[in-house]
RNA sequence: GCCCUCGUGGCGGAAUGGCAGACGCGCUGGACUUAGGAUCCAGUAGGGAAACCUGUAGAGGUUCAAAUCCUCUCGAGGGCACCA
């Protein structure tokens, strides 16, 4: 005999078709009622989707469907982050155009996602590689150019030899390319930047608004990345009159500054070399420049450096201090020069030790008994010593006082420094948004006129992957007219970082077909901010910083009103198989297509939602998937049983208990979804209700059908196909299920009528008594019952106790042996 | 070194400061049977014959009561890092 399973294939196909025909997921107008914008990070169309991606969409879908049932006007869109290097690489390999490759993948993946029954409003689908989208990337670029937020600069930049393009700082992880993992080199190039550093403070401030709504982890990562330091700029004059400006967070240690260090790239580094030190100094500078960033930053190699022969004067006491050059000082942080305080900074200490420079302690510990090590720097705060008029002051106080004193003579000023660097956005690749700028010999750098946008990406370009912008090889693209003088001019041939595309796509969903503007600000005002954003944590310091920046610029352009674009963030864990993140390239991906074919979309959905809370990593388990399939089959069989059973009646006790369980389940599922996306426990509550129904003696009576109705209704956001089918077959109302509201529960029915009171003695469980709910709150009755129960077990207790109404009683004092004999 | 998150059965994981281990997986035994990757029933933290005892990484503390709060230690994962 073959086992009977429910026919998920035809059920799922049937309901997908019905939803599609009825446009069941069309976005309602947000004007009337509470809105809910549910957003998942949109995918890169790389091929087929696997369960790792799918988990993301399932989580979002539960929320979207739940909020719809709760009466919210829900926006739940999806699109394609469709520009990027993989398309170009695939094109080179397979002799297919990046556009065709990408569009084909979109087609396949859209089908995969639809097969999961995710409630997306496909009318709002966008793809960033299409001109109607990237036109607005260009428009924003010009706006930012006009505001001075897009600029060109020659500097040392990250270069990935494998991807043959430059990278932004955020895209270098551990010295390696975020995409391909190759070691990143430094190159001196002129490139386009977005001035994200202008927004450093606002990006930091905004994080305060997100506390408690974004994971602490992500907030901490962004804070670290922005890296704010408060301190002072201090001016040191050299003997020959040059001004060396240093940045320090410890102005209180100024009296202990016994030398200065310039980075090898510092503009004064060569100038300050005296005749005696010229040769050695220039050799050192050249050697430092030749080193890779990795080599330079390697701490293990120890400190190296060279004396310039010059001296500067410490502004606080006129002491003559030597000026050194060393590569442990970074050229692109602070001022590229430091005052070195070997007594109170470990790096300076090591340097001073090696080059035999004077070490003067200027901070003593607050508590004189505290041990001060002599083999390393004392980096804590304390009491000022060897610091003239500031002696005996606390170092914290001196920080402010010394800065204040020097400020009067213009020798210092308070200064805030950030670690964040400007966003390098140009790329030497083809499959991206052309940067809408023109170089005219006469008029210089000119933005393309808005009326001439978009600057179209040509259909085909000679793709070699050899590291020159492919667009530069196309004279028909390059040669153009100057927007200002109409003379011959040349176009910019670099394209934009694809992170530009994803920095504002959530706004385009609001008004995806607008040809006059990126979006209507009115739409932004009614839908923004995104109420719930869902995606992977790997974007904490890339996409999630860029898009926050972009949104603030957009707000400043008057096109949006909220400060932060994403009100709540959920970072879902990875799906792993054999401990490694699922991926096509690792060969451990479970394709959605296979799952849907083999066990159905609902089973796949239930498994990823039940096996683990969304934040956790989720290890794929075939056994677990089978368990989810089993659960759905049990529900299916229950629907048959209930439909076919003769209507009878159970004894009131049993039916009341079942009714209670149903109401408790409604409450629990409702709370679990709202309270931190506890989909796993919500589903386990549904399993419990099903278990209760299985044990119920009068299956088929009104109470059991009502309980089952609630079960199907609650199951709908998680497994929409099977619940829709059962709903129909059982003749439940209203129809269709997708129009039903989330069930309400009766608080009276949720409350237990009898309560088990826990009886503790000195905090340990000793007995339990079951009492009617009313009695369980009555102190006298509970104590009497408790003492009786204890004495039956041979335990006598003194009268001191702690009573928690309806819950427990804890006898506090000594347990006395009763007359056991 | 700094910052963040987290340590609970064989596994995934449950527990408004109030019965630790819900629910599921796996496993063990049984039932049914045209042997099946179906379904149903019972059991499943450790120790003990049992009453009981011990258990949430470890050590302290707060509390009538701690997996949960506080301090320290150890361990895991992640981010930043010669950032002055």
Upper half-sphere CA count for residue A344 (Cβ side, 13 Å): 27
Quickly count: other Cβ atoms within 10 Å of residue A221's Cβ: 16
Task: State which residues between 759 and 778 of chain A bring their CB within 7 Å of strand B.
Answer: 760, 762-765, 768
Tens of pLDDT, residue by residue over A262-306, are 999 999 999 999 999 999 999 999 998 888 777 777 776 789 999
Residues A802-814 have a mean pLDDT of 81
**Token digits of residue A252:** 């209180």
- Nearest protein residue to the C1' atom of B26, measured from CA: A623
Tens of pLDDT, residue by residue over A445-470, are 999 999 999 999 998 888 877 767 89
- The answer to whether A257 CB sits below 7 Å from nucleic acid chain B is no
**Res A430 pLDDT > 90:** yes
Compute, in degrees rounded to 10, the torsion defined by CA atoms A509, A515, A516, A517.
Answer: 30
Return the percentage of chain A with pLDDT > 70, whole number: 97
- The answer to whether A631 CB sits below 7 Å from nucleic acid chain B is yes
**Token digits of residue A647:** 């209507």
Q: Closest Cα partner for A545 from A196, A62, A794?
A: A196
Cα–Cα distance for residue pair A408/A403, rounded to 1 Å: 9
Dihedral sign, Cα of residue A708, residue A713, residue A714, residue A719: positive
Contacts of A708 (CB under 8 A, 6+ apart): A638, A639, A642, A693, A730
Q: Closest Cα partner for A689 from A675, A673, A709?
A: A709
Residue A372's pLDDT is 73
Our measurement of CA A666 to C1' B26, in angstroms, reads: 30
Residues A151-169 have a mean pLDDT of 91
Our measurement of CA A809 to C1' B45, in angstroms, reads: 26
Task: State which residues between 483 and 542 of chain A bring their CB within 7 Å of strand B.
Answer: 537, 540-541
Residue A765's pLDDT is 83
- The answer to whether A626 CB sits below 7 Å from nucleic acid chain B is yes
Instruction: Give the burial string for A163-187 (b: 16+ CB within 10 Å, else e).
Output: bbbbbbbbbbeeebbbbeeeebebe
Cα–Cα distance for residue pair A489/A444, rounded to 1 Å: 9
Cα–Cα distance for residue pair A687/A658, rounded to 1 Å: 14
- The answer to whether A740 CB sits below 7 Å from nucleic acid chain B is no
Our measurement of CA A790 to C1' B46, in angstroms, reads: 27
For residue A214, what are the β-bridge partners? A211
- Nearest protein residue to the C1' atom of B52, measured from CA: A766
Cα–Cα distance for residue pair A154/A666, rounded to 1 Å: 62
For residue A460, what are the β-bridge partners? none
**Res A816 pLDDT > 70:** no
Our measurement of CA A574 to C1' B12, in angstroms, reads: 14
- The answer to whether A297 CB sits below 7 Å from nucleic acid chain B is yes
Our measurement of CA A802 to C1' B11, in angstroms, reads: 39
Quickly count: other Cβ atoms within 10 Å of residue A800's Cβ: 10
Our measurement of CA A635 to C1' B32, in angstroms, reads: 22
Instruction: Give the burial string for A108-147 (b: 16+ CB within 10 Å, else e).
Output: ebbebbebbbbbbbeebbbbbbbeebbbbbbbbbbbbbee
Q: Which nucleotides of B are covered by protein (CB under 7 A)?
A: 2-5, 11-16, 18-20, 22-26, 33-34, 36-41, 52-54, 64-66, 77-84
Cα–Cα distance for residue pair A387/A760, rounded to 1 Å: 64
For residue A188, what are the β-bridge partners? A156
pTM as predicted: 0.93
HEC profile for A212-263?
CCECHHHHHHHHHHHCEEEEEEEEEEECCCCEEEEEECCHHHHHHCCEEEEC
Task: State which residues between 396 and 425 of chain A bring their CB within 7 Å of strand B.
Answer: 417, 419
Cα–Cα distance for residue pair A690/A638, rounded to 1 Å: 8
Nucleotide nearest to A216 (CA to C1'): B4
Residue A286's pLDDT is 93
Residues A649-653 have a mean pLDDT of 81
Contacts of A605 (CB under 8 A, 6+ apart): A58, A61, A116, A117, A718, A719
Dihedral sign, Cα of residue A100, residue A104, residue A109, residue A110: positive
Nucleotide nearest to A607 (CA to C1'): B24
Tens of pLDDT, residue by residue over A172-219, are 988 888 888 888 888 889 999 999 999 999 999 999 999 889 999 999
Tens of pLDDT, residue by residue over A485-531, are 999 999 999 999 999 999 999 999 999 999 999 999 999 999 999 99
HEC profile for A306-371?
EEEEEEEECCCCCCEEEEEECCCCCCCCCCCEEEECCCCCHHHHHHHHHHCCCCCCCEECCCCCCC
Q: Closest Cα partner for A257 from A302, A328, A178, A313?
A: A313
- The answer to whether A342 CB sits below 7 Å from nucleic acid chain B is no
Our measurement of CA A357 to C1' B42, in angstroms, reads: 81
Task: State which residues between 217 and 236 of chain A bring their CB within 7 Å of strand B.
Answer: 217, 220-221, 223-225, 227, 229, 231
Largest CA distance in chain A: 114
Contact of A40 with A63, CB cutoff 8 Å: no
- The answer to whether A624 CB sits below 7 Å from nucleic acid chain B is yes
Quickly count: other Cβ atoms within 10 Å of residue A738's Cβ: 21
Distances (CA, A) of A295 to A177, A238, A282, A300, A454: 17, 31, 19, 10, 43
Tens of pLDDT, residue by residue over A667-702, are 999 999 998 899 999 999 999 999 999 999 888 899
Task: State which residues between 132 and 191 of chain A bring their CB within 7 Å of strand B.
Answer: 173-174
For residue A570, what are the β-bridge partners? A534
Our measurement of CA A329 to C1' B84, in angstroms, reads: 8
Residue A797's pLDDT is 67
- The answer to whether A247 CB sits below 7 Å from nucleic acid chain B is yes
Dihedral sign, Cα of residue A594, residue A596, residue A601, residue A603: negative
**Res A665 pLDDT > 70:** yes
- The answer to whether A365 CB sits below 7 Å from nucleic acid chain B is no
Quickly count: other Cβ atoms within 10 Å of residue A31's Cβ: 8
**Token digits of residue A671:** 């709370």
Nucleotide nearest to A418 (CA to C1'): B83
A267 phi and psi angles, rounded to 5 deg: -60, -30
**Token digits of residue A86:** 């993989």
Task: State which residues between 659 and 698 of chain A bring their CB within 7 Å of strand B.
Answer: 678, 680-681, 683-684, 687-688, 691, 694-695
Q: Is A638 buried (19+), middle (13-18) or exposed (0-12) by CB count in 10 A?
A: buried
Tens of pLDDT, residue by residue over A700-749, are 899 999 999 999 999 999 999 999 999 999 999 998 999 999 999 999 99
Contact of A469 with A460, CB cutoff 8 Å: no
- Nearest protein residue to the C1' atom of B35, measured from CA: A1
Q: Indicate the pLDDT class of residue A770, thresholds 50, 70 and 90.
A: confident
């Amino acid at each position: 005999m073959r086992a009977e399973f429910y026919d998920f294939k035809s059920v799922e196909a049937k309901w997908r078709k019905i939803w599609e025909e009825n446009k069941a997921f069309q976005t309602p107008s947000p004007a009337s009622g509470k809105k809910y914008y549910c957003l998942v990070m949109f995918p890169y169309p790389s091929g087929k989707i696997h369960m790792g991606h799918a988990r993301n969409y399932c989580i979002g879908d539960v929320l979207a469907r739940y909020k719809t049932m709760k009466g919210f006007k829900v926006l739940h869109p999806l699109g394609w982050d469709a520009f990027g290097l993989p398309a170009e690489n695939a094109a080179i390999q397979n002799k297919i155009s990046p556009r065709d490759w990408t569009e084909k993948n979109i087609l396949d993946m859209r089908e995969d996602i639809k097969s999961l029954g995710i409630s997306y409003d496909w009318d709002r689908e966008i793809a960033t590689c299409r001109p109607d989208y990237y036109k607005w990337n260009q428009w924003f670029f010009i706006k930012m150019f006009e505001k001075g937020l897009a600029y060109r600069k020659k500097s040392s930049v990250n270069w990935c030899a494998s991807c043959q393009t430059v990278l932004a700082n955020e895209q270098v992880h551990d010295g390696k390319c975020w995409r391909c993992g190759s070691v990143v080199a430094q190159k001196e190039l002129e490139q386009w930047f977005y001035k994200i550093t202008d927004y450093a403070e606002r990006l930091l401030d905004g994080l305060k608004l997100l506390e408690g709504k974004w994971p602490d982890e992500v907030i901490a990562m962004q804070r670290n990345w922005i890296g704010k330091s408060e301190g002072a700029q201090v001016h040191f004059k050299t003997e020959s009159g040059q001004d060396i400006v240093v940045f320090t967070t410890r102005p209180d240690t100024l009296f202990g500054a016994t030398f200065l260090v310039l980075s090898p790239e510092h503009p004064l580094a060569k100038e300050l070399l005296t005749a005696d030190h010229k040769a050695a100094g220039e050799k050192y500078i050249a050697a430092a420049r030749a080193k890779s960033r990795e080599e330079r930053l390697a701490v293990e190699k120890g400190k190296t450096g060279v004396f310039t022969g010059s001296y500067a004067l410490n502004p606080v006491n006129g002491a003559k201090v030597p000026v050194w050059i060393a590569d442990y000082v970074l050229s692109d942080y602070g001022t590229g020069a430091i005052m070195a305080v070997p007594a109170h900074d470990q790096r300076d200490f090591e340097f001073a030790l090696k080059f035999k420079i004077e070490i003067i302690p200027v901070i003593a510990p607050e508590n004189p008994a505290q041990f001060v090590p002599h083999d390393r720097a004392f980096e804590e705060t304390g009491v000022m010593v060897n610091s003239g008029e500031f002696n005996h002051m606390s170092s914290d106080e001196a920080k402010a006082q010394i800065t204040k004193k020097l400020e009067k003579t213009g020798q210092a000023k308070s200064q805030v420094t950030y670690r964040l660097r400007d966003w390098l956005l140009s790329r030497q690749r083809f499959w991206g948004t052309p940067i809408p700028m023109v170089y005219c010999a006469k008029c210089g750098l000119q933005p393309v006129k808005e009326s001439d946008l978009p600057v179209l990406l040509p259909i085909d370009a000679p793709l070699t992957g050899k590291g020159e912008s492919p667009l530069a090889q196309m004279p028909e693209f390059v040669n153009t007219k100057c927007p200002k003088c109409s003379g011959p001019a040349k176009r910019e041939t670099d394209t934009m970082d694809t992170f530009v595309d994803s920095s504002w796509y959530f706004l385009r969903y609001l008004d995806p077909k607008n040809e006059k503007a990126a979006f209507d600000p009115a739409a932004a005002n009614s839908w923004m901010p995104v109420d719930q954003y869902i995606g992977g944590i790997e974007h904490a310091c890339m996409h999630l910083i860029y898009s926050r920046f972009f949104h603030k610029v957009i707000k400043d352009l008057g096109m949006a009103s909220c400060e932060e674009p994403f009100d709540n963030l959920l970072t879902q864990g990875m799906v792993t198989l054999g401990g490694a993140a699922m991926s096509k390239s690792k060969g451990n991906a479970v394709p959605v297509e296979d799952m849907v074919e083999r066990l159905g979309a609902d089973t796949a959905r239930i498994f990823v939602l039940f096996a683990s809370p969304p934040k956790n990593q989720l290890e794929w388990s075939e056994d677990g998937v089978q368990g989810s399939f089993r659960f759905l089959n049990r529900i299916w069989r229950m629907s048959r049983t209930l439909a076919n059973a003769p209507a009878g009646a159970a004894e009131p006790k049993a039916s009341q208990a079942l009714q209670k369980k149903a109401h408790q389940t409604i409450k629990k599922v409702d709370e679990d979804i709202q309270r931190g996306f506890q989909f796993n426990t919500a589903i386990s509550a549904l399993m419990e209700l099903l278990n209760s129904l299985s044990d119920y003696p009068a299956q088929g009576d009104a109470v059991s059908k009502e309980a089952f109705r609630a079960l199907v209704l609650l199951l709908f956001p998680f497994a929409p196909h099977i619940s829709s089918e059962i709903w129909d077959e059982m003749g439940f109302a209203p129809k269709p299920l997708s129009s039903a509201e989330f069930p309400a529960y009766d608080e009276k029915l949720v409350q237990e009528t009898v309560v088990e009171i826990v009886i503790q003695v000195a905090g340990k469980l000793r007995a339990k008594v079951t009492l009617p709910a009313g009695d369980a709150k009555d102190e006298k009755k509970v104590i009497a019952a408790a003492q009786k129960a204890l004495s039956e077990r041979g335990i006598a207790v003194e009268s001191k106790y702690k009573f928690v109404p309806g819950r427990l009683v804890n006898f506090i004092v000594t347990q006395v042996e009763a007359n056991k004999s």
